């Protein structure tokens, strides 16, 4: 089977794709049919001489754009001086980044474990929660994504589960608080998030054996289609956890480190988790993740023999990169800029909604926005093929996009430009997206 999603004239390097077909494991349905030779800022440069505007920051990670000079300089210096150590050794970059993360967070979050990926940090957070509570059951959203390792995958429901054998016991899903596609409706016809949350936990309580350890959620659900919980929802969720002696874990792989216009996504709601996980944005495209919790929880975990000893725990090279990421964010005041750029981006997307009937909803926060496609606004029925076709047309026009396809909903574009993207790049991305929708949509409606 050809690895390329759609054959295009740009695929001139037959040997590359031949080797890929023969030797690369297909870890997703398809690969984007371009060969990227280099990247700079928000631009990807392909083997056939084309330029693509990266509207997803790589894998939602490269918040400083590609090949940022400060990151490049740090990598050169760190690789030449201190790149990797025995995991039981600590280095100055690791301790410095731990201190700076703690200082950026509200009390009581002050103890840090540095790891590599989002799945790994969520795995560690769940192990810690189970150990310190002495319980094992985990609650997450019905359209969640927390990673592909065993515990994280057990708390993930937006990915297909059949075929991999039984997940870890004790995983429960509660309804996703999607205001655009509400499943529990109040007298005003809108989502009644409190009734939905009450129902969700009533079902959890009915199935639980009394061993509820943790609830893990994203403050904005990215893989669910950039779903923003209604005001007050996270505070109500916090109360549900406290009533049951559960720890609340916020997975801020995509919402942390400035992406939403605050340093951390949870700050918008004023709800502090027991454990915070960071990844993607923390390394600005490099494999760096963190688990952050209180001194009390860390002490209890340590007393009970907490073990998460991995090959790349506390690696100094990526910790140096993390420190540089924080330097750049502070020196360039990027978090404040995200609020303004996010307003510009959302305004442009709302303009597309006015122009194109297939744009059913626009939602998000800061530079993490979602645009949901529908065939009919009244019924909200959609076609998976519509999102795929628009994605391909965007690529033809010079724009790289990411569309989420889930069973419960239609296609939603996850739009996450780099925090360093210019207003011109944001406007150009919106214009190209609008052009692609205009070219493709008439064939579907």
30: confidence class by pLDDT, cuts 50, 70, 90: confident
pLDDT at position 422 is 98
Identify whether 414 is a catalytic site residue. yes
Q: Which two tokens stand for residue 377?
A: 């606004």
Rounded to two decimals, the pTM is: 0.95
Catalytic residue among 196, 254, 369, 392: 254
Q: Which pLDDT band, with edges at 50, 70 and 90, does 14 fall under? A: confident
Determine the pLDDT at residue 362: 98
Residues pairing with 273 in the sheet:
none
Query: Could you read off the pLDDT of 205-254 as tens digits, one per residue?
Result: 999 999 999 999 999 999 999 999 999 999 999 999 999 999 999 999 99
Q: Is 251 annotated in the active site? A: yes
> Cα 362 to chain center, whole Å?
18
92-103 helix and 316-331 helix, angle to the nearest 10 degrees: 40
Query: Quick one: pLDDT at residue 11?
Result: 45
Nearest to 125 by CA among 294, 319, 303: 294
pLDDT at position 405, please?
64
The pLDDT score that the predictor gives to residue 12 is: 60
Which of 218, 269, 361, 372 is the catalytic position? Answer: 218
- Distance CA(197)–CA(174), nearest Å, equals 8
Q: Domains of the chain, with CATH numbers?
A: 34-67+333-443 (3.90.1150.10), 70-331 (3.40.640.10)
Which residue in the list 145, 192, 196, 259 is annotated as catalytic? 145
Catalytic residue among 240, 280, 341, 393: 280
pLDDT interval class at 13 (50, 70, 90): confident
- Catalytic residue, chosen from 251, 252, 274, 315, is 251
Stretch among 29-38, 113-122, 194-203 having the lowest mean pLDDT: 29-38
Name the token pair of 256.
Answer: 């942390």
Is 218 a residue of the active site? yes
> Please, are residues 371 and 354 in contact by the beta-carbon 8 Å criterion?
no
- How many Cα neighbours within 13 Å face the side chain of 349? 27
> Region 73-92: what's the mean pLDDT?
97
Residue 6's pLDDT band (boundaries 50, 70, 90)?
A: very low
User: pLDDT of 344-390, one tens digit each?
Assistant: 999 999 999 999 999 999 999 999 999 999 999 999 998 888 999 99
260 has pLDDT over 50: yes
Tell which phi-psi region holds residue 422, choosing left (phi > 0), alpha (psi between -120 and 50) or beta.
beta
Quick: pLDDT tens for 389-414.
Answer: 999 999 999 999 988 765 555 589 99
Could you give the CA distance from residue 155 to residue 122 in angstroms, rounded to a whole number?
10
Determine the pLDDT at residue 410: 57
Does 145 participate in catalysis according to the annotation?
A: yes
Percent of the chain residues topping a pLDDT of 90: 91
Q: For the segment 94-140, what is each residue's pLDDT rounded down to a tens digit? A: 999 999 999 999 999 999 999 999 999 999 999 999 999 999 999 99
Sole residue written with tokens 């720890």: 247
Q: Which two tokens stand for residue 167?
A: 């997940």
Q: What is the mean pLDDT of the chain?
A: 95
């Amino acid at each position: 089977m050809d690895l390329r999603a759609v054959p295009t004239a740009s695929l001139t390097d037959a040997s590359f794709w031949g080797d890929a077909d023969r030797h690369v494991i297909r870890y997703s349905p398809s690969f984007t049919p371009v060969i990227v030779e280099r990247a700079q800022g928000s631009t990807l440069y392909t083997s056939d001489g084309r330029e693509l505007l990266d509207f997803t920051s790589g894998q939602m990670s490269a918040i400083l754009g590609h090949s940022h000079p400060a990151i490049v300089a740090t990598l050169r210096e760190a690789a030449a001086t201190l790149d990797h150590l025995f995991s039981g050794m600590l280095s100055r970059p690791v301790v410095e980044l731990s201190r700076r993360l703690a200082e950026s967070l509200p009390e009581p979050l002050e103890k840090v474990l540095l790891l590599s990926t989002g799945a790994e940090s969520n795995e560690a957070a769940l192990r810690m929660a189970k150990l310190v509570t002495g319980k094992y059951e985990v609650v997450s959203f019905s359209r969640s994504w927390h990673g592909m390792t065993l515990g994280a995958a057990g708390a993930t429901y937006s990915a297909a589960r059949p075929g991999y054998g039984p997940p870890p016991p004790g995983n429960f899903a509660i309804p996703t608080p999607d205001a655009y596609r509400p499943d529990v409706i109040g007298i005003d016809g809108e989502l009644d998030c409190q009734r939905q949350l009450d129902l969700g936990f009533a079902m959890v309580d009915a199935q639980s054996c009394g061993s509820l350890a943790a609830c893990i959620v994203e403050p904005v659900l990215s893989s669910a289609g950039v779903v923003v919980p209604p005001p007050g929802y996270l505070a109500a969720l916090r109360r549900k956890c406290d009533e049951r002696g559960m720890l609340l874990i916020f997975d801020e792989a995509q919402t942390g480190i400035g992406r939403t216009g605050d340093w951390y996504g949870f700050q918008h709601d004023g709800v502090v988790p027991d454990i915070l996980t960071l990844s993607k944005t923390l390394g600005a495209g490099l494999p760096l993740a963190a688990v952050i919790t209180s001194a009390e929880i860390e002490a209890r975990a340590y007393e009970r023999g907490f073990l998460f000893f991995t090959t790349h725990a506390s690696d100094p090279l990526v910790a140096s990169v993390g420190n540089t990421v924080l330097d750049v964010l502070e020196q360039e005041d990027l978090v404040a800029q995200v609020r303004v750029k996010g307003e510009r981006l959302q305004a442009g997307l709302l303009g597309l909604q006015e122009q194109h009937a297939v744009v059913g909803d626009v939602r998000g926060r800061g530079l993490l926005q979602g645009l949901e496609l529908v065939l009919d606004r009244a019924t909200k029925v959609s076609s998976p093929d519509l999102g795929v076709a628009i994605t391909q047309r965007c690529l033809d026009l010079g724009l790289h996009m990411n569309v989420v396809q889930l069973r419960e909903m239609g296609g939603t574009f996850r739009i996450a430009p780099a925090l360093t993207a210019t207003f011109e790049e944001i406007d150009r991305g919106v214009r190209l997206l609008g052009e692609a929708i205009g070219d493709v949509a008439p064939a579907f409606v």
